[in-house]
Chain A
Amino acid sequence: MNSIVVKNLTKKFGSFTAVDEVSFEVKRGEIFGFLGANGAGKSTTIKMLCGILEPTSGDALVGGFSVAKEPDKVKQNIGYMSQRFSLYNDLTVEENIDFFGGIYGLEGNLFEERKKWVLHIANLEGKEKLLTSSLPGGIKQRLALGTAVIHKPQIVFLDEPTSGVDPISRRNFWDLINSLSAENITVLVTTHYLEEAEYCNNIILIDAGKLIAEGSSKQLKTNYIKVPIFEIECSNVVEAMELLEKQDFVGETSIFGNNIHVITNEKFKDESQIHNLCKSSSINVKRINKIIPTLEDVFIHLLEKGKK
């Protein structure tokens, strides 16, 4: 069953189209990754799905309700954590939980139980009286997630929940996301970190408001790049990259650690082309491997293709 069905969703700000006819579907209980460069339109899409922004055209069913026609019903079933920290910094941990719990109409035992749960996942048991502004970034994000799902919604939208958080906290945060998904809660999450995209069941990539790729990480890697990709370990990395980029059999190149990733194109015949090139320009090649593309390769390839 699909929790979210998006159809031709479009948002214009004046004459500028921030989200352009985007369509996709998200299954119940899955972790759905939403990727794109800065300004691609991720936040705008999420805001429409949460009923904060009215779509210019198109529609989406979120938990079975139309975001264009019944945004109030949509709001009953969702949790949302915005890109900016949006708890009250000048309230204590407990006051924030009490406030949002109250707004969601939680009461009595159920509320006490949820409050305990939020404090538990945020690692704030016994620290209820701390001022929220004094918490470290990672803890703040966990508290924000906890309050966003205090009412046990079926669907959660997380807009860059891990930006600006250290790697260990990020890892912990993803454990939390996984545990939500295990409870059959649908999680739609945007991120800039491609390694985080690997934790998602399905991914979409948007660029300049348009959806340009979708599928699981495995599907993306096999479906969107049909040409061979090589990882080259060599001397004079920068020089080698410049040289390779000028060749008509090379699509894109990128640096990956100390190595170069070369995405070829239709004109590419075999590996010897690269060997010969390097020999003729005195670049010392240590190793050339044909590889399965990483997500980064796929995205660079797709985004470059989009530019051309």
Chain B
Amino acid sequence: MSQMTMIQAINSALDVMLDKDPTVILLGEDIGYFGGVFRCTDGLQKKYGEHRVIDAPIAEGGIIGSAIGIGVNGLRPVAEIQFADYIYPGLDQIISELARLRYRSGGDYFSPVTVRTPCGGGIRGGQTHSQSPEALFTHLSGINTVMPSNPYDAKGLLISAIESDDPVVFFEPKRIYNGPFDGDPDKPALAWSSHPGGDVPEGYYSIPLGEAAVVEEGDDLSIITYGTMVHVAQAAVKKAGISADIIDVRSLVPLDVETLKQSVEKTGRCLVAHEASKFGGYGAELTATVQEECFWHLQAPIERVTGWETPYPHAFEWDYFPGQDRILAGIRNVLEAV
């Protein structure tokens, strides 16, 4: 075991896979010589060479499109998109090609591409460095979508994503790259060494896609969330002085329905939280799934706590971000409903 930030854990996952599997290739803007704008690929080009850790032109559609071709020709590409906000020029390649190649070719062709990309707000990035577009990807058939909330999960899940023959879009919540964040920007920053998820094995291990993590156990309600919001939910529950199941979905697709079901059947009350806006967001899917699976156990309407339905504003970052106060208000609604 050693202490790692999420950046180091991601770097370690890439390192382990480059070492273990000679077909793994990294491709992305500024990832090679420079080591990435967030340093996730720091040192990897030096270690594995320019032919395996490859700097790319500024063309997200080109990166994903060529990654598909690289994958079809027997290599295993891991593409980095510098910010999730910049993945859109690659959307056609993801939606029309990557997600459907296996299906449309009757199973004869596939491309095991992993697309890594930092997402989420909290770094004063304004509307073009703060987005959480996961719902655009969870809506697709043929692609898996992952978002870890701590270094340990990030490494284990990224290794599974790379090993998977199905394509994965892997979101990295950048606000928690260097430490857990409970939603209060005025508090001093915490280090990952203060969190159990900061203990990360040096070598190979994997966490299967499709398994949620029960982060905390309790009886009053179930909070279903992922990414940065896991930490915000934990802080809110503590503040409320209640006992709640907090479920970190981790793998948005495939979704671990069973874990959600067990929890909500136990508590009878459910709150869903994410940073992305509400309408048509991934929370709608979680809410519908819980309703389908647990309707007869529910004692209150399911509550959603999300970003507002506006672009992410620069000046009002913390009014946009669904922080502890909004979760507390949501908890009150769920608990007070008869």
Question: Are A and B a genuine interacting pair, yes or no?
Answer: no
Q: Interface residues, chain A, CB within 8 Å of chain B?
A: none
